[in-house]
Amino acid sequence: MQCRRYSTKFSPPPLRTLHILSPPFLRAMSAQLFRAFDSLKDQAKDALWALSSCLCQQSAKVKINGRTFKINKVLGEGGFSFVYLAQDEHSGRQFALKKIRCPTGAEGVKEAMREVEAYRRFKHPNIIRILDSAVVQDPDGDGKIVYLFLPLYKRGNIQDAINANVVNGTHFPEQEMMRLFKGACEAIRAMHTYRAPIGATVPKTNGTAAKQKQQQRQQQQQQHHSDDEDDDERFPQPEGDGEDGYSYGSASVPLVTRRRVEEEGDTVFDGDEELGRIQEQQGSGATEIVPYAHRDLKPGNIMIADDGAAIVMDFGSTVKARVEIANRSQALVQQDIAAEQSTMAYRAPELYDVKTDTTLDEKVDIWSLGCTLFAMAYSHSPFENTQITEQGGSIAMAVLNAQYKHPANSAYSQGFKELVDSMLKVDPKDRPDIHKVLENTDRVLQSLA
Ligand SMILES: Nc1ncnc2c1ncn2[C@@H]1O[C@H](COP(=O)(O)OP(=O)(O)OP(=O)(O)O)[C@@H](O)[C@H]1O
């Protein structure tokens, strides 16, 4: 996700582009370093907040919609966010609260809202749903904070289960592993076969007008709150609850805007025109397939529900899957996006070296699924701990050569190995689509029954 100060997924530009040590390139590099520094500052602030609340034996509190949530602990930390265990003081209900800090500038919030909309777009039992979201002024700076309320998965994610296997010297029983994997594949099938309504007219959004209107609203709201912080007035609430403010420790700051793409007929986040179009067209009935790619599938992004189901999450990197690459500069843009948003050891080769006159597509996820299944079995991505990386070569080199091996003492079936191998083909055209992956997964499951 992009509100992003600094990505842990950042990787240096490919060697062959390094010779362009032109002033713009150097400027871009120094901007990246400044962003990295900002990011570290933010992360330190968040970590201190969590630590101080532990040391004081007193939970920090967040107030949204007049409801107060106790922040009990840090559940996890992404490249761009912290996720806290939050508890509604009134009902006692627990949530995962994802906090994304967005530095000054419209782009950051827009990117975070894109993640929110992606959470809303896909409705499937194996895809996490978002319960609520809010954008507030950062009390410690000029930027904004985006909060996402998510259902809490107490069992953690598949990476946590892999880590526990390593610690305990255990491994997934094949049937359990394949069932979990199948759930993740079903989520990905829902994304790859996403149907969007067609046929209605596209509402024209005037970005500038929408922005101005939004700014006016924000000014009014900020004015209102600075006049009377305890006032109970609510923002228009399109679905469910409203929010009137937020308190951070003892400080209270106004909610800037809610998560809506459309509000009172205006596009608030004019960047996501496509979603506005889809919402507008929902009555028309006709639909077409618009495949989406997750682009950052890995064990850490698949939670395990209480009943053992796989739940795919983290839609910060999600994009429309099909991207035509007509020239070199488009190729480099896609390469940079992938370097920032897709984890190296799970990233498809075509995203490391994006070729001109090609089309990127949903097969990038099939590669990541292959890496994920391998990691579930052997505790690491196929492209970590390889001969190449052990001899000092890069993960990129191992990926581009599809250089990996199943361990000689593998406890898993031949069907499992063939399934992994089918997904780890360098040429995306040689990889199966998600329907075929599911079919082959069922075949492995049947062979184990
Ligand atoms: N709903 C949830 N329930 C329990 N833990 C969660 C939940 N959501 C996130 N976490 C924890 O927080 C961590 C970070 O969350 P998430 O992946 O959404 O953040 P991110 O900034 O997008 O990370 P990344 O750098 O992987 O993109 C997860 O790995 C997980 O351990």
Torsion of CA 396, 402, 403, 409, to 10 degrees: 130
pLDDT for the residue numbered 285: 77
Q: Which ipTM did the prediction report?
A: 0.95
CB atoms within 10 A of CB 320: 14
C-beta separation of 78 from 7 below 8 A: no
**431 contacts 384 by C-beta, under 8 angstroms:** no
Contact 277, 41 (CB under 8 A): no
Using a 6 Å cutoff on CB, does residue 350 contact ligand 1? no
- Whole-number Å distance between alpha carbons of 264 and 213: 11
Q: Is 263 in the pocket of ligand 1 (CB under 6 A)?
A: no
* Ligand 1 centroid to residue 440 C-alpha, Å: 29
In 3D space, the residue among 134, 142, 77 whose CA is nearest the CA of residue 103 turns out to be 142
Q: How deeply is 350 buried, as exposed, middle or buried, from its count of CB atoms within 10 A (0-12, 13-18, 19+)?
A: buried
pLDDT at position 42 is 54
Task: Compute how many other C-beta atoms are within 10 angstroms of the C-beta atom of residue 296.
Answer: 24
Structure tokens at 57: 């034996």
CA distance 118 to 102: 18
Within 8 A by CB and 6+ apart from 329, the residues are: none
**Residue 310 pairs with which residues in a beta bridge?**
304
Asked whether 111 lines ligand 1 (CB < 6 A), one says: no
Q: Is the Cβ atom of 299 under 6 angstroms away from ligand 1?
A: no
CA dist 273 and 239 (Å) reads 20
The response to whether residue 76 sits with its C-beta less than 6 Å from ligand 1 reads yes
Q: Is 291 in the pocket of ligand 1 (CB under 6 A)?
A: no
Asked whether 172 and 165 are in contact (CB, 8 A), the reply is yes
DSSP state of 57: T
- Nearest ligand 1 atom to the CA of 159 is 29
Is the Cβ–Cβ distance between 243 and 134 less than 8 Å?
A: yes
From the number of C-beta atoms within 10 Å of its C-beta (0-12, 13-18, 19+), residue 15 rates as: exposed
Beta strands at 323-325 and 302-304: parallel, antiparallel or unpaired: unpaired
Q: Three-class SS of residue 55?
A: helix
Alpha helices in 244-386 (DSSP H): 273-281, 328-341, 349-352, 363-378
Q: How far apart are CA 128 and CA 11, in angstroms?
A: 28
Quick one: which atom of ligand 1 is closest to the CA of 100? 21
What DSSP string runs through 381-446?
Answer: -TTSS-HHHHTT--HHHHHHTT-----TT--S-HHHHHHHHHH--SSGGGS--HHHHHHHHHHHHH
Q: Is the separation of the CB atoms in 259 and 135 below 8 Å?
A: yes
Report which protein residue has its CA nearest ligand 1's atom 7: 96
Q: Which atom of ligand 1 is nearest to the CA of 151?
A: 1
Nearest partner of 188 among 86, 71, 291, 114, judged by Cα: 291
Q: Which atom of ligand 1 is nearest to the CA of 316?
A: 22
Residue 161 CA to ligand 1 center (angstroms) comes to 14
CB 346 within 8 A of CB 359: no
Provide the 10 A C-beta neighbour count for residue 107: 14
DSSP 355: P
Distance from residue 314's CA to the centre of ligand 1 (Å): 7
Testing ligand 1's pocket by substitution, the residue of 10, 98, 132 carrying the most ligand atoms inside 8 A of its CB is: 98
Q: Is 314 in the pocket of ligand 1 (CB under 6 A)?
A: yes
Angle at Cα 143 formed by Cα 268 and Cα 47, nearest 5°? 125
Centroid of ligand 1 to alpha carbon of 325 (angstroms) = 31
pLDDT of residue 92: 93
CA distances (Å), 9 to each of 45, 79, 156, 287, 376, in order? Answer: 21, 7, 21, 35, 21
The encoded tokens of residue 362 equal: 């949903």
Q: Ligand 1 within 6 A of 3 CB?
A: no
Give, for ligand 1, the residue of 42, 83, 127, 295 to mutate: max count of ligand atoms closer than 8 Å to Cβ.
83
Q: Which residue's CA lies nearest to atom 4 of ligand 1? A: 153
The alpha carbon torsion through 209, 214, 218, 224 (nearest 10 deg) reads 80
8 Å CB contact between 285 and 88: no
Residues contributing to the annotated binding site: 98
Tokens representing residue 436 in the block: 């075929």
pLDDT in tens, the chain (449 residues): 444 433 444 444 433 344 344 454 455 455 555 555 555 555 555 555 555 444 444 568 888 767 788 999 999 887 678 999 999 998 999 999 999 888 776 577 888 888 899 999 999 999 999 998 888 888 777 788 889 999 999 999 999 999 999 999 999 999 999 999 999 999 999 999 999 887 533 333 333 333 444 444 444 443 333 323 322 222 223 233 333 232 222 223 334 333 332 222 222 223 334 444 444 444 557 889 999 999 999 999 999 999 999 999 999 899 999 999 999 999 999 999 999 999 999 999 999 999 999 999 999 999 999 999 999 999 999 999 777 667 666 899 999 999 999 999 999 999 999 999 999 999 999 999 999 999 999 999 999 98
pLDDT of residue 352: 96
Contact 218, 257 (CB under 8 A): yes
Report, as residue numbers or ranges, the catalytic residues. Answer: 296
Q: Look up residue 142 and give its two tokens.
A: 């000029």
Task: State residue 142's pLDDT score.
Answer: 78
